Homo-oligomer: A and B are copies of this chain.
């Protein structure tokens, strides 16, 4: 779970521990990742060969803050720009970079990990990096989550009927509100699923229309792009 998030942010850019934490917070994925969790996790990933680290010299220039331009390919290179200098400062900034093995691991974890993607935490993190998944896996992820919420929702509705006569004011208010929340989640997921299918059909049509040599749907092609 944590691993996916770490590999995920490192898929976007090379980062050091402290900054990884900031990113995960900024992206709303993990609001308060403790250092006691983060650093050992990075060490484990490095030992396993999924990531590797290099030292970055302290930023001598004021505000050489990563510009974060919209360029899709440029970000990754930024961190290494000062690497050739001898590391004179003791300011240990261990910047981590995803290895090819790590990329493979990431995509494996992202798709059908041993468990699934049904529970909220697991789903949120996977969805955040869904652009690294092939469309078919993306759709499955959404559908698994929807199925799970449907289960929970049906259970909650049963409970609601049973306990409605038991005059437990606050408990009932809670259950009713939870049911409404789940119904909205369902609607949201349905919207995403519809959009997903539409874009898939759209791709199909286009590829059929242009009569390219590729006869079959490229289901295994990974598109990290970010087009709407």
Contact = CB atoms under 8 A, between A and B. Distances in A.
A159 interface: yes
A128 interface: yes
Interface in A75-130: 124, 127-130
Interface string A191-209: 0100000000000000000
A176 to B, nearest CB: 9
B181 A27 contact: no
Contacts of A220: none
A28 interface: yes
Contact of A162 (B26, B152, B181, B188): B26
Contacts of A169: 131, 226-228
- How many copies of the chain does the oligomer comprise? 2
Given A26-B162, A178-B28, A170 B70 contact: no
Contacts of A165: 70
B26 A163 contact: yes
A173 interface: yes
A34 interface: no
Interface residues of A, number: 39
A184 interface: yes
Given A27-B163, A28-B156, A156-B28, A226 B168 contact: yes
Contacts of A159: 26-28
Contact of A175 (B28, B131, B167, B173): B28
A41 interface: no
Contacts of A226: 167-169
A174 B70 contact: no
Given A68-B166, A131-B169, A167-B226, 8 more contacts: A26-B162, A27-B171, A128-B171, A129-B170, A131-B168, A168-B226, A173-B192, A181-B181
